[in-house]
């Protein structure tokens, strides 16, 4: 029989780093689920580790890419293998509350919907982030009312089927959540919210959180990735949800701004900061260059004077 839930975990070079993630799954108070673990071309013994998890528990299944195809591709592979009525994404360095699936099952029994949004906990700070109320999840995601992370939602299998029918995977390790969130939400017809904070998001770790060691090569690589992600999202929205086209364009620009922000704001070397900013001084990226000068640099200067200064007021829209 097919399970009620499918849990999809992308993995890359995570040997010795998944104990809490796997433990939180094995400790779930609701047990009718499968786990699809996708090794995305690890160079360590991650796949052997995943095979070990699978040997210990028949609900766990290991899948292997022949090379590094990107975080987005690993998620697509997981979606293509999922058989559950509902699908969730879990990153390999994060973990769940032990009653996550039980609470979601109870909510869905009372009111079946295509997507349930739930809260998360920022670790190690322990700060709780309940889901933001929304009458228009697609529009609110695209106007940055709430973050695009796909792991804080539970999706009906029919939503995943539509995504696989209407889109194809591509190499993307930056902007992948922003792209896939818009596609997933656009493939759903009904939404609900579970106010409980169930997902523990561990900052500074994992496949998609290597944010240091900024170089010009990284800037160009990240920018290429988010531009492709933005183009895929925009193409999808124009075809399947055209009323959101303008917002999709804004989302694509916000993704490009994020790349500039990371490199210009967090780089400590002044000369490298100027080099990164100068990269955008051309006709193609002049809007980004002006935003960097007008918005990012003043916030960076303020932070250098006051290390406790917040970037919360920085306008990405």
pLDDT greater than 60 at residue 205: no
DSSP state, 29? S
The pLDDT tens digits of the residues spanning 125-175 come to 999 999 999 999 999 999 989 889 999 999 999 999 999 999 999 999 999
Give dist(CA 263, CA 253) in Å, integer: 16
Distances (CA, A) of 291 to 178, 253, 267, 277: 20, 11, 17, 10
**Residue 7 β-bridge partners:** 35, 88
> What 3-state DSSP class applies to 11?
strand
The pLDDT tens digits of the residues spanning 26-70 come to 999 999 999 999 999 999 999 999 999 999 999 999 999 999 999
In the chain, % helix, strand, coil (3-state, to 5) comes to 50, 15, 35
Q: Smallest Cα–Cα separation from 154: which of 255, 212, 86, 243?
A: 86
Give dist(CA 200, CA 202) in Å, integer: 6
Cβ atoms of residues 166 and 187 within 8 Å: yes
Q: Residues 99-121: what's their mean pLDDT?
A: 98
Q: Smallest Cα–Cα separation from 149: which of 82, 88, 219, 231?
A: 88
Cβ atoms of residues 80 and 164 within 8 Å: yes
Give the per-residue pLDDT at 210.
Answer: 45
pLDDT greater than 90 at residue 209: no
Chain position carrying tokens 């694509």: 252
pTM: 0.93
Fold designation for 5-202: Spore Coat Polysaccharide Biosynthesis Protein SpsA; Chain A (3.90.550)
CATH 3.90.550.10 location in the chain? 5-202
Give dist(CA 199, CA 98) in Å, integer: 10
Mean pLDDT of the chain: 94
| List of residues 6+ apart from 51 with CB closer than 8 A | 62
Exposure of 31 in the CB half-sphere (CA atoms within 13 A): 4
């Amino acid at each position: 029989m097919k399970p009620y839930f499918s849990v999809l975990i992308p993995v890359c070079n995570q040997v010795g780093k998944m104990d809490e993630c796997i433990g939180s799954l094995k400790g779930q108070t609701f047990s009718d689920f499968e786990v699809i673990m996708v090794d995305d071309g690890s160079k360590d013994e991650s796949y052997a580790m995943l095979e070990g998890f699978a040997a210990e528990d028949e609900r766990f299944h290991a899948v292997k890419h022949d090379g590094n195809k990107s975080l987005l591709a690993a998620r697509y592979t997981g979606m293509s293998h999922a058989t559950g009525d509902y699908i969730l994404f879990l990153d390999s360095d994060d973990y769940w509350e032990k009653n996550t699936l039980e609470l979601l099952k109870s909510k869905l029994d009372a009111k079946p919907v295509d997507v349930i949004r739930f809260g998360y906990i920022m670790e190690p700070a322990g700060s709780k982030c309940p889901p933001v109320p929304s009458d228009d999840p697609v529009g609110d995601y695209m106007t940055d009312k709430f973050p695009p992370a796909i792991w804080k939602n539970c999706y009906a299998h029919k939503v995943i089927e539509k995504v696989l029918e209407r889109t194809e995977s591509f190499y993307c390790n930056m902007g992948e959540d922003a792209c896939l969130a818009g596609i997933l939400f656009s493939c759903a017809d009904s939404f609900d919210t579970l106010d409980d904070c169930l997902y523990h998001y561990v900052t500074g770790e994992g496949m998609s959180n290597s944010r240091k060691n900024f170089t010009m090569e990284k800037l160009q690589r990240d920018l290429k990735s988010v531009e492709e992600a933005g183009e895929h999202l925009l193409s999808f929205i124009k075809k399947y949800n055209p009323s959101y086209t303008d917002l999709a364009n804004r989302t694509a620009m916000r993704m490009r701004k994020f790349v500039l922000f990371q490199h210009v704001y967090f780089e400590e070397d002044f000369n490298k900061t100027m080099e990164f900013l100068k990269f955008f001084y051309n006709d193609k990226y002049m809007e980004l260059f002006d935003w960097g000068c007008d918005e990012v640099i003043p916030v960076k200067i303020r932070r250098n004077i006051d290390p406790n200064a917040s970037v919360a007021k920085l306008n990405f829209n």
